[in-house]
Every structure is written in C-alpha cells, then in structure tokens.
Amino acid sequence: MGDKKLLAPLSTLEWVDRQMLKPNDYNPNKVSKENLKLLTQSILTNGWTLPIVVRPDYTIIDGFHRWTVAGEEPLLSMLDGKVPVVRVFHEDASEDIYGTVTHNRARGTHLLEPMKAIVKRLLDEGKTIQEIGRQLGMRPEEVFRLSDFSRDDFLDMMIRGKTTYSKAEMYTTV
C-alpha cells in the first residue's frame, strides 16, 4: 500500500499533553477571535478531525489554532489537556516552513456562489438563521447576504426562528 514515506506521519498518531507542543516562529496565518470561536464550535460539532502536525521536538508545523483553542474551555477540560498529533521528520528545516505554508494555502478560500448554495440548502432544510449563524460562524447579516430572500422575508424568518418571542395576542372587552 502506497509509499512508506507518504504514510509515515499517520503511523505516529498519538494523544499527547498539549503543554508538550510549542508554536513555530514563522506562521504567516492569522485567525480572528470569531474564527477561533468557530473552530471550537467545529470541534464540538464534528469531533477532533485533524491532528496537529509537529516536528520530532513537538514544534507545531500545522495546527497552531487547533492547539490554541484546545487550551481554553470547554475543550481544555473535555480533552483532559491532551491533543492529537502526528510527527513528520524533515531533513531540512525549510521543509517545516513549506509544510506550514502549504497546509494553510491548501485549505483555500470559500467562494461566493457555493456558499450561497449552502446557505440556501440549509434554509430549505428548515435550519434557523440563528443555527446557521452559530454553526458557520456568521452574523445574521452574512446569512442574509448569502440568501436570495427579500429583506422582508428574511426578517420574518428571523422572527420565526427565535424561540424567545411569544406570539402577540389581542384582547378585547365585549
């Protein structure tokens, strides 16, 4: 099965104390606080799907933001201070840098039309604007911009999706 070098990192998969890891000093990728919250939500929703990639000395090549959110509640206590890692063994330090940049760039960006289709599909499936916003890390205005609904229809959906509002009733005396 496949090239041994290609499969080698997965053979090192293990859960280790988060404190063993240290960030590299060259990562060009920055993430907003909102996206860190989204990353946490993703882990809570999907489970931990991507291990952190480290050098043999546990310097992070890819996964700095996963490592960061794993050090905060609720993940810190849920994971008991552990994170999943795979180790890669590069002969040249430049390969570590290439690994960091290519992991980041390979994830790509989200295009407008596919995101509009996703929001439409979720709305068609009956998901609330609040749920879509929470799960995808979007404010209601972003969901609106990606939906093809009129402003009035969207506001009606916002009101229907809120469970904290009670239905207005009119009382009259006879």
User: What is the C-alpha separation between 150 and 158, in angstroms, rounded?
Assistant: 12
- Rounded to two decimals, the pTM is 0.70
Q: What is the pLDDT of residue 123?
A: 87
Q: What is the pLDDT of residue 8?
A: 86
User: What is the C-alpha separation between 63 and 54, in angstroms, rounded?
Assistant: 8
Q: What is the pLDDT of residue 37?
A: 93
Q: What is the pLDDT of residue 168?
A: 45
* 56 contact partners, CB below 8 Å, separation of at least 6: 87, 89
Quick check: 14 and 55 in contact, CB under 8 A?
Answer: no
Q: How many CB atoms lie within 10 A of CB 30?
A: 7
Q: What is the pLDDT of residue 108?
A: 67
Q: How many CB atoms lie within 10 A of CB 158?
A: 15
Q: How many CB atoms lie within 10 A of CB 123?
A: 20
Q: What is the pLDDT of residue 163?
A: 40
What is the residue-wise DSSP string for 135-171? HHT--HHHHHHHS---HHHHHHHHHHH-SSPPPP---
pLDDT means per 10 residues, the chain with 174 residues, are 77 96 87 92 95 96 96 97 95 84 74 82 87 83 82 71 44 49
Q: What is the pLDDT of residue 50?
A: 94
Domains and CATH numbers, the chain: 4-106 (3.90.1530.10), 112-161 (no CATH)
